[in-house]
Amino acid sequence: MRKSPKTLGSRLVLLVGLMLVALLLLVPLSLIFVKALSEGLPALWENLQADYMQHAIGLTLFVAVITVPLNMLLGMALAWCMTHYDFVGKRVLSIIIDIPYAVSPVVAGLCYLVVYGVEGIVGHWFAEHDIQLMFAWPGILLVTIFVTTPYVARILMPLMQAQGSDAESAALSLGANGWQIFWHVSLPNIKWGLMYGVVLTNARAIGEFGAVSIVSGTIMNQTLTLSLLVDQLNNDNKAAAAFTAAALLAVIAIASVAIKSVLEWRLDAAERAG
């Protein structure tokens, strides 16, 4: 049972924790918006309207719009296979799902560059057919899908495991087909967990830097996402513009955290009701 801090020691611990949160999280986050507005609203609007900013926003959203649905479908399929079937290699598949968690994004980007670059076997074949993967948006998309693959699957797997398959078996015995079982039985039971995974996937896709920086080539107005643009503008000593891009990412992150908190509450409520 939770209780309010009453002793001096517990209150000091709480105070220290709040101070650390303020110093390490709230102050830097607030400074991003202060720096973005340092030259006034007209300059902020001008930075937002710049061609490189518009292109970076468009590319970032484009990658996220493709990555999130693909990983949502892949995550549901992986979670379903892992919780409903026993098969040879199941443990190996479980390890493979966790690889993007364990591998550094920079290492992942380098691996993709080696395989899909023009000097790699696969990349050379694509190059011969006038298809460029690395240093173009397809490479950014590939590595973003890789680093975000586990989120939906890992959230749905324990949820599906806890719920079991009794309701689905009952629906099957009553004559429901596979689509009807999924749409009317399985999906309602996992919808909050699925939305939670989608939010996390979207947040990671938009903010990914390490893997994307390796395969993008950081070409202005071509392969710069918002996270890469922040670094590029900072290196070019364009502080206000860099903080403007950073503020956009911060707004997306804050919105994602807010949605995540609501979904966590709904997910806990659904688990208690179940």
Query: Can you give the pLDDT at residue 208?
Result: 94
pLDDT-wise least confident of 6-15, 29-38, 54-63, 104-113: 6-15
Tell me the pLDDT tens digit for each residue of 210-258.
999 999 988 888 999 999 999 999 999 998 899 999 999 999 888 888 8
Cα 103 to Cα 248: distance, rounded to the nearest angstrom: 27
If you average pLDDT over every residue of the chain, what do you get? 88
Enter the tokens of residue 60: 């970032």
Query: Can you give the pLDDT at residue 39?
Result: 85
Neighbouring residues of 53: CB distance < 8 A, sequence distance ≥ 6: 47, 229, 241, 244, 245
- Tokens 């659904």 -> residue: 270
Q: DSSP letter string over 113-180?
A: HHHHSTTSHHHHHHHHTT---TTSHHHHHHHHHHHHTHHHHHHHHHHHHHH-SHHHHHHHHTT--HHH
- Categorize the per-residue pLDDT at 58 as very low, low, confident or very high, splitting at 50, 70 and 90: very high
Element (H, E) at 29: helix 27-36
pLDDT-wise least confident of 35-44, 69-78, 186-195, 229-238: 186-195
Fold assignment, 39-273: MetI-like fold (1.10.3720)
Cα 70 to Cα 68: distance, rounded to the nearest angstrom: 6
Kindly state the average pLDDT of the residues 186-213: 89
Q: Is the pLDDT of residue 48 over 70?
A: yes
Query: Can you give the pLDDT at residue 3?
Result: 65
Share of the chain above pLDDT 90, in %: 47
Residue extents of the structural domains in the chain? 39-273
Q: Is the pLDDT of residue 173 over 90?
A: no
How far CA 201 is from CA of 129, 148, 155, in Å, comes to 32, 6, 11
Q: Are 151 and 145 in contact (CB under 8 A)?
A: no
Q: Is the pLDDT of residue 2 over 70?
A: no
232 phi, psi to nearest 5 deg: -65, -45
Cα 247 to Cα 202: distance, rounded to the nearest angstrom: 17
Q: Is the pLDDT of residue 152 over 60?
A: yes
Neighbouring residues of 248: CB distance < 8 A, sequence distance ≥ 6: 57, 226
Q: How distant is the alpha carbon of residue 83 from its chain centre?
A: 23
Cα 150 to Cα 94: distance, rounded to the nearest angstrom: 10
Tell me the pLDDT tens digit for each residue of 64-98.
999 999 999 999 999 988 988 888 989 999 999 99
Q: Is the pLDDT of residue 61 over 80?
A: yes
225 closest CA partner among 252, 249, 253:
249
Confidence (pTM): 0.87
Enter the tokens of residue 68: 């999130």
Enter the tokens of residue 177: 């087909």
- Categorize the per-residue pLDDT at 1 as very low, low, confident or very high, splitting at 50, 70 and 90: low
- Tokens 């596979």 -> residue: 178
255 closest CA partner among 213, 199, 204:
199
- Tokens 């390890």 -> residue: 95
Enter the tokens of residue 105: 């994004």
Return the exposure string of 71-106: e unless at least 16 CB atoms fall within 10 Å of the residue's CB, then b. bbebbbebbbebbeeeeeeeeeeeeebeebeeeebe
Q: DSSP letter string over 170-218?
A: HHHHTT--HHHHIIIIIHHHHHHHHHHHHHHHHHHHHH--HHHHHHH--
